[in-house]
Structure 1
Amino acid sequence: MTAALLSALTVVIMFVGSMLTMFSYDFAMVASGGAAVFLAAPVYMLMVRRVNRLGVTTVFTTVAALLFCTMGNMLFMLPFYVLGGLLLDLACLRTPRQRQSSWWATASWTAFSGLYLLSTLIPYLGNMEAYVSQTMLERGLDQSYADTFFKYYGNPAWVVAIMLATMAVGFLGCLVGRALMKRHFERAGAL
């Protein structure tokens, strides 16, 4: 139950982080993923340490995928998130000692940050232009949205750069989370 609630809170924080970048298409294309993972990292770190069970990342990614689907993402992204969470649990958080290590939780979140950014490209793999046109129509966006999207996500070098930047910002968010946990939760005996 704690994992599901903290997962939902993490997704809400990610949504707020993304929304903070929406004042410019250019800025949003480059920074929305980074803002989302930076702000949500401390809650993820707390969740991993507090729940301390194998599968906590799988629960998080499943809840995230379901909530993302309610916000317009495609249902076929669900297996990507569930499988990604399972792989992160098995690679980084399979033992209680790993789950109590902030470095392993940081590794898990940093990897998730890259996968999170790449997951936004899944719908475009079939026919990017058709999907962008459909998105523009459904959301009432103008041609400048499409132009900006293709400027960044139509160029593999930009995709890699944005993914690496998102991972770096996710890592920095974990460092903030570690400091917050040490300062507030460990002193209080909550962890």
Structure 2
Amino acid sequence: MEVKNNKLQAKDLINVGIFTAIYFVIFFAGMMLGYIPIFIPLLGLVCPILCGIPFMLYLTKVKKFGMVSLTGIILGLLNVLIGAGVLVLIFGVVFGILGDLVLKAGKYQSWKCTLLGNGVFSLWIMGYVSRMFLTRTEFFTFLESNYGAEYTATLASYTPNWMFPVLFVVTFIGGILGALLGKAVLKKHFEKAGIA
């Protein structure tokens, strides 16, 4: 009986679909800030904060391993479809699973693991940002052909190579802040779900 309870059922997959869709819409809206070059390095901070409320509500419904992993995979696939490149899918898979493992370690009841889990999960966004560093020449060549030399030069000046590890930290902090915001707004839901 316990094995059956641990398997994802239809209602779990419905929750995955609904909340992943909401997350993606809010994430995509946040990404629009990228039209202003200075905001691109800050997307890892801004997007997890914006997505914090719906994702925290989602986590009150996550009680089984695999739901957050699926969300990471779907978000990665959606971004590949809109032309964000394969790195974002790889990061979605890796940090979706790692976020899920952190939540599972707290048996989906620990606030500390929920907080850390959201911080870890939010690092999937670095797959989007990583193109600026791991495929730098190709990325900026593509960017220049679409947005012009001035935009590209400005963004390049804001993102020297040493910024790469810094942005991982910034994105993790964004996830923590998003979780805190989400919990504050959804306090009653957390209490009902038994998440301390």
Same fold per TM (> 0.5)? yes
Confirm or deny: 8 A CA contact 1:77 1:119 kept in the other structure.
yes
Coordinate RMSD, CA, aligned: 2.4
Confirm or deny: 8 A CA contact 1:123 1:131 kept in the other structure.
yes
Gaps of 5+ in 1: none
* In 2, Cα distance between equivalents of 1:79 and 1:51: 22
* In 2, Cα distance between equivalents of 1:100 and 1:7: 21
* In 1, Cα distance between equivalents of 2:64 and 2:46: 27
SS in structure 1 at match of 2:83: coil
Confirm or deny: 8 A CA contact 2:60 2:193 kept in the other structure.
no
Number of corresponding residues: 181
Cα shift readout 1:41-66 (whole Å, capped 9, x = no counterpart): 22112212213111121111011011
What percentage of aligned pairs have identical amino acids?
Answer: 23
* In 2, Cα distance between equivalents of 1:153 and 1:66: 25
Matched, 1:106 2:115: yes
- 1:116 is matched with which residue? 125
Cα shift readout 1:131-164 (whole Å, capped 9, x = no counterpart): 2112332xx20112221232233331x2333332
Cα distance change on mapping 1:73 and 1:119 into 2, 3 Å: closer
* In 1, Cα distance between equivalents of 2:94 and 2:164: 22
Gaps of 5+ in 2: 1-13
Confirm or deny: 8 A CA contact 1:39 1:173 kept in the other structure.
yes
- Aligned equivalent of 1:179, options 170, 175, 184: 184
- Aligned equivalent of 1:152, options 154, 158, 183: 158
- 1:9 is matched with which residue? 22
Cα distance change on mapping 1:31 and 1:77 into 2, 3 Å: closer
TM-score calculated relative to the size of structure 1: 0.81
- 2:3 is matched with which residue? none
Confirm or deny: 8 A CA contact 1:113 1:170 kept in the other structure.
yes
Confirm or deny: 8 A CA contact 2:20 2:71 kept in the other structure.
yes
Confirm or deny: 8 A CA contact 2:118 2:176 kept in the other structure.
yes
Cα shift readout 1:25-55 (whole Å, capped 9, x = no counterpart): 12x1232222111010221122122131111
